[in-house]
Chain A
Amino acid sequence: MMQLNRRNLFAGAAAAGAATALTPLMGRNANAGVAPAGKQVPGVYRQKLGSFELTQITDGAARRPVSNGYVVNISKEQAIAETEAAHYQKDQVIIPFNPLVINTGSKLVLIDTGVGPALYEKSKGAVGQLHTNMAAAGIDRNAIDIVILSHFHGDHINGLRMADGGLSFPNAEIKVPGVEWDFWMNDANAGKVSGYNKGAWGVPRGIFKGLENKVTKYEAGKEVAPGITSIATPGHTPGHTSFAIASGSAHALVQSDVTNIPQFFLRHPDWHVEYDIDPSTAAQTRHKFYDMASAEKTLVIGFHFSFPSAGYVEKDGTGYRLVPIVWNPSI
């Protein structure tokens, strides 16, 4: 019996040149080859929640190093070590962006909008995929009835606009957290943020310009759309909001950015990502949210979870761990 070891495993690669010794039986001439497809599947995943139909649609993913301040309250070395523990390339993390469409039966609702099509070309298609993936999912952006925004960071709001500045979802009502609106639209607050958020300060102004009278502010603890209730989860931003979706006896949580990537911040809920405006409050929110999600065994959908961006949370040591859902090839 062939022994399974590293040596003979890798012998295969070295011996590759010998392989053509196998005589092709039929078909094309040997080694004619088929060009690689070079294209990823549009990232779309559907599931039912009671009578609701949920469609997770990826907007793409960004790659960044961690050694330049991704986690503000641990050492550079610790952050780099964690990339390897989490099976990333050394000093790299991948941050995916995954908006969610909910068909409640009466309304077609989009929660968060991705980084926007303007970045699609610029990123060579790595991000800004929402609008094309939505079309691939058979969802017409003109059919979206309600856009709900969780908070005002660019990866959540910029997709409201097409590359030419036009509205991406022209027939949709736009619902924003009232606390968030009041914070970002008041320049008296500009001095309260630093770092990433300082750079991001003008972003909401630009996106909402001319929409001031069109947006509807919502409060925490209210039904924002049928079966979709806002939950205040502050810290990441002052008005940051998560959502509970309920249909019949089925329910799920849409966490928004209670964590950035779970590989880091579910495992280490007390680590502070540089995007948090009030990191201590964000950490408290995180503990509360995941204690609840794990106790209730509630499905959690996460904007920055790996696509298809849904899973269950289990307690694990001093932190938590995400157990991704098992992909269901039919619905």
Chain B
Amino acid sequence: MTTLTRRNLLSVAAGAAAATTLPFDHPVRAATPPAGKQANGWYRYKVGSIEVTVATDGIARFKMAEDHVTNIKRDVVNAALAEVFMEKDMMTTPYNPICVNTGAKLCVIDTGTGEANYKKSNGVGGQFVTNLAAAGIDRGAIDTVIISHYHGDHINGLLMADNSLTYPNAEILVPAPEHKYWMDDGEMSRASKGRIETNFKNVRRVFNADVLKRVKTYDWGKDVVAGITAQGTPGHTLGHVSFVIASGSDTVFVQSDVTHVPFLFVRHPDWHAFYDQDANMAEATRRKVYDMLVADKMRVQGFHYPFPSLAHVEKYGTGYREIPVAWNPII
């Protein structure tokens, strides 16, 4: 009997080239071509009587800028990536908006990077509406779009590539402080050059006249629609919002961008992603939210968590750790 050793495990790799010479005795049939296509990225679960459908918008994979984590040296970041078996210097960012059927309203929370990005990225990003359609949800049937904050990966999907409305029959509910800040000409004139200024311009591009006609603001701490409550979680942006979906005794916390990717920023809540507008406020919010999630054993749905982006949270070292909810093959 062959025993289990490193040597024979690795010899397999070396021997692979020889494999095709082995006499496989099956009658010769044409080989099946590879599918070459990922399965549809959607996943469904219940929160009480509410049905949540996670539909991935895809990912972005890029070489990290030197200041991607602004307060941590690159070799420390790379060590953290190695701990989760990820390639050094590279950032993989998943985008996972959700669709919530409360029974009364069919809602989308955040919209992904948009159809224009689907084309630009050759389908790697901008998948949200196609995955939603694969899940049997027609974008024309969406009643309410709820926006957590005004970064492009959350709002750009409001528009199709031709700038028409992605959700033509939906009202668009936006956080009042977020809307006020990004639409304020004074704030824009005082904005620092670079990322913040670019974001001001993008917000004004997306919130065109058609979109603005449908916009209604909501306040922190209020029900946005029945069953979905807004929680102010500022720092990432100044008006940034998370949501609690509640039905009966069941709840899930939709964190939006309280953390960016969990494998860096849940493990290390004191690390500052360069996306955070007020990094210290974002860190304080992060700790508050995660302490609460741990204490209440509440599940978290994270926009930048790996699909299907639903997890439990534990304390771990000086930070926390996300434990993906076991995939349920039925609902």
Contacts and interface: CB of A to CB of B under 8 A. Distances in A.
Q: Which 4 pairs between the two chains have the least Cβ-Cβ distance?
A: A12-B229, A221-B2, A13-B246, A44-B39
A40 interface: yes
7 contacts: A6-B292, A25-B216, A38-B51, A55-B35, A226-B19, A234-B1, A329-B307
Interface string A232-246: 111000000000101
Contacts of A327: 41, 56, 94, 306-308
Interface in A232-281: 232-234, 244, 246-251, 253, 263
A39 B44 contact: yes
A46 interface: yes
Interface in A9-59: 9-13, 15-20, 22, 24-28, 30-34, 36-46, 53, 55, 58-59
Scoring B9, B53, B232, B234 by chain A CB atoms within 10 A of each residue's CB, the highest score goes to: B9
Contacts of A232: 1-4
Contacts of A15: 223, 229
A312 B85 CA distance: 7
B223 A18 contact: yes
Contacts of B161: none
Nearest to A93: B326
B85 A4 contact: no
A211 interface: no
A47 B25 CA distance: 28
Contact of B42 (A27, A41, A136): A41
Given A58-B329, A314-B83, A330-B124, A87 B312 contact: yes
A145 B329 contact: no
Contacts of A45: 38-39
B226 interface: yes
A2 B231 contact: yes
A229 B8 CA distance: 10
Interface in A278-331: 285, 288-289, 292, 295-298, 306-308, 312, 314, 323-324, 326-331
A171 B27 CA distance: 10
A38 B46 CA distance: 9
A329 B324 CA distance: 17
Interface residues of A, number: 112
B277 to A, nearest CB: 15
Interface in B66-109: 83-86, 92, 94, 101, 103-106
User: What is the interface residue range for chain B against chain A?
Assistant: 35 or more
A143 B32 CA distance: 7
A330 B231 contact: no
B13 interface: yes
A326 B6 contact: no
A331 B328 contact: no
Interface stretch (A69-77, A102-110, A149-157, A193-201): A102-110
A223 interface: yes
A281 B38 CA distance: 38
A113 interface: no
A220 interface: yes
A162 interface: no
A87 B330 contact: no
A60 interface: yes
Contacts of A8: 221, 231
B329 A40 contact: yes
Contacts of A331: 36-38
B225 A253 contact: no
A43 B26 contact: no
A186 interface: no
Contact of B34 (A38, A44, A103, A233): A103
Contact of A231 (B2, B231, B297): B2
A264 to B, nearest CB: 12
A287 B38 CA distance: 34
Contacts of A33: 103-105
Interface of B: 1-6, 8-10, 12-13, 15-16, 19-20, 22, 24-26, 29, 31-32, 34-44, 51, 53, 56-59, 83-86, 92, 94, 101, 103-106, 123-124, 127, 135-137, 141, 143, 169-171, 173, 214, 216, 218, 220-221, 223-229, 231-234, 244, 246-247, 251, 263, 285, 288-289, 292, 295-297, 306-308, 312, 323-331
Contacts, number: 286
B286 to A, nearest CB: 11
A269 B43 CA distance: 31
B4 A233 contact: yes
Contacts of A326: 86, 92, 94, 263, 306
A129 B300 CA distance: 28
A231 B8 contact: yes
Nearest to A39: B331
Nearest to B6: A292
Scoring B16, B106, B135, B214 by chain A CB atoms within 10 A of each residue's CB, the highest score goes to: B16
A37 B136 contact: yes
A289 B329 contact: no
Contact of B329 (A36, A43, A146, A219): A43
B232 A26 contact: no
Contact of B169 (A20, A27, A330): A27
B225 A22 contact: yes
Nearest to B263: A326
Contacts of A86: 323
B101 A12 contact: no
Contact of B29 (A2, A5, A145, A297): A145
A226 B94 CA distance: 34
A11 B221 CA distance: 9
Contact of B39 (A42, A53, A124, A229): A42
A8 B232 CA distance: 11
B40 to A, nearest CB: 6
Given A40-B44, A227-B16, A327-B56, 20 more contacts: A1-B234, A6-B292, A19-B223, A22-B216, A26-B171, A40-B329, A46-B35, A61-B330, A96-B326, A108-B31, A126-B329, A146-B26, A220-B1, A226-B22, A232-B1, A285-B4, A326-B86, A328-B59, A329-B124, A331-B36
